[in-house]
Amino acid sequence: MRLFVVFLLLFSSAWSQALPYEYRLFLDFLKTRDVELAERIIKDYPDAVFLDDLKVLTARELEKRGQTDRAVGLLKEVNPKRLRDDLRSTYRELWLSLNLDVKEAFLKNPVIFADFAGRLTLSPEEAQRTARELFDRRLYKAVVSLYEKNPHPQVCALYGASLHHLKSPDALKTLLGCERDTVRDEYLLRIYLSSGDYTRAQELVDQSPRLGVLGGRMLLHRGEYEKAIDFLSKAPDSYDKHFNLGLINFILGKYENAVKHFKQSLEYASDPYQTSQSNFWLSKSYSSLSVYELASEHLLRSSNGEGFYSLMSRVHLREPIVHRGISRVMGSDFPKTANIIKAIYEEGLPYYARLEAFKRIKDITPSDVKTIAKSSLTLF
C-alpha cells in the first residue's frame, strides 16, 4: 500500500511537471490579473499560443487602471485573427473605447468591424481584399455597404454575388455590368441555371469552358443528368470533370462508361483523397459489372489513401481504422508530447490544448496519438 501511495505521488509530480512553465504563469495571471506578470510572459514567451489573448486581457486591465498609453501599445500589437472567439468583442470594445483609428482596425480584421464597412473610404486594393474576406464569411450585407461607399470595379462582382445571396432582383443586372472575372461568370451561371435559362448558360460556358464543371455539378445535384453531361463535356480535362461524369454514368447504370471516366479521373488526381475517392467508385462500378477481382483490387487501393473513402474502404475490407496520414506526418524520432497536451487540457484550458497540439504537430509520435485517443480529450 505504501509503495502504491509513493507511486501516485511520483506520478502526480511528473504530471504537474509536464505543464509548460508559460502556462503556469498564464494560470497565475488569470487568477491575479497581475499586469507586470503578464508583460513578463509577453516578453519571455513570444511564441505562446495564447499570446494575443493575453495581450487583450492585459490591455483591458491597464485601461481599467487608467494606463491608456500602455493599453493602446498592447492592443496595437494584437493579431485579431488569432483571438479566441469570446475575446474578439472585448478587442473591439477596447479599440473603440480608446478612440483608436477604426480604419486601421477594419483593415486588420474586417469581420470584427463589419458594421463599419459602409463608413470608410478605401483604396481599390483595400476594398477588394476586405470585401473578399467579408464575402467568404457570408457577411453579404457588409459587402453591399462597402461597395456602395467604395464603388471600385474590382469589387463589383462580389457586390453582385452578395446581392444574389440576399435574393435581390438587381443581382443579374449588376453582374452583367461588372468587368469579367471568375466571380462574375460563376454567379451569372448560377443565376441562369437557377432560372432555367439554359441557352444563356450554354453561351457562357462556350465563352469560358472551365465553367462546365460548375454547371455540371449544379445540374447533377438537381437530377438533370443529360444536361449535366453536356456541360461537363465542354470543360477542359480535369479531375472534377471526369469524376463527375463517372458519377453520372454510375447513377444512370452505364457502368462501363463510369469505369472509363473514373479511370481518367485518376490521371488528374492531385492528392491521396482524390485517389481514394476514384478507386472507391471504380470498385463499385466493377462490382456492378460483376468483375469482382478488379472491384477488390480498387477497394484495396482506395483503402491505402486518405479521407472518408479510404475509411469506408477499410470498413468494407474489415481492416482496423487507423488514419494512415497521421503516421506519415508524425515520425517515431520526435519526442513525446501527449503528456504536455493533456496537462494543459486538465488545467481547464482545452482551447489552448488544441492550439498547442497543432503547434507541436511535427513533434507528435504515434504513441502520442494513441495516448490522446485513449484519453477523454476532445481536440480535433
Question: pLDDT tens for residues 45-88?
Answer: 999 999 999 999 999 999 999 999 999 999 999 999 999 999 99
Q: Say which residues have a Cβ less than 8 Å from residue 237's Cβ, sequence separation at least 6.
A: 264, 268
What pLDDT was estimated at residue 166?
98
Ranges under pLDDT 50 in the chain: 1-16, 321-335
Q: Which cell numbers in the block locate residue 261? A: 471516366
Q: Say which residues have a Cβ less than 8 Å from residue 358's Cβ, sequence separation at least 6.
A: none
What pLDDT was estimated at residue 325?
40
Neighbours of 357 (CB within 10 A): 23
User: What is the spatial distance between Cα 258 and Cα 360, in angstroms, rounded to a whole number?
Assistant: 43
- Torsion, Cα of 28, 31, 36, 38 (10° steps): 70
What pLDDT was estimated at residue 5?
37
Q: Are the C-beta atoms of 244 and 213 separated by less than 8 Å? A: yes
User: What is the spatial distance between Cα 297 and Cα 380, in angstroms, rounded to a whole number?
Assistant: 32
What pLDDT was estimated at residue 371?
66
Question: pLDDT tens for residues 280-299?
Answer: 999 999 999 999 999 999 99
What pLDDT was estimated at residue 360?
83
Question: pLDDT tens for residues 241-277?
Answer: 999 999 999 999 999 999 999 999 999 999 999 999 9
Burial readout 85-119 (b: 16 or more C-beta within 10 A, e: otherwise) = eebbebbbebbeeeeeeeeebbebbbbbbbebbbe
Q: Which cell numbers in the block locate residue 305? A: 489513401
Q: How far is CA 286 from the centre of its chain?
A: 35
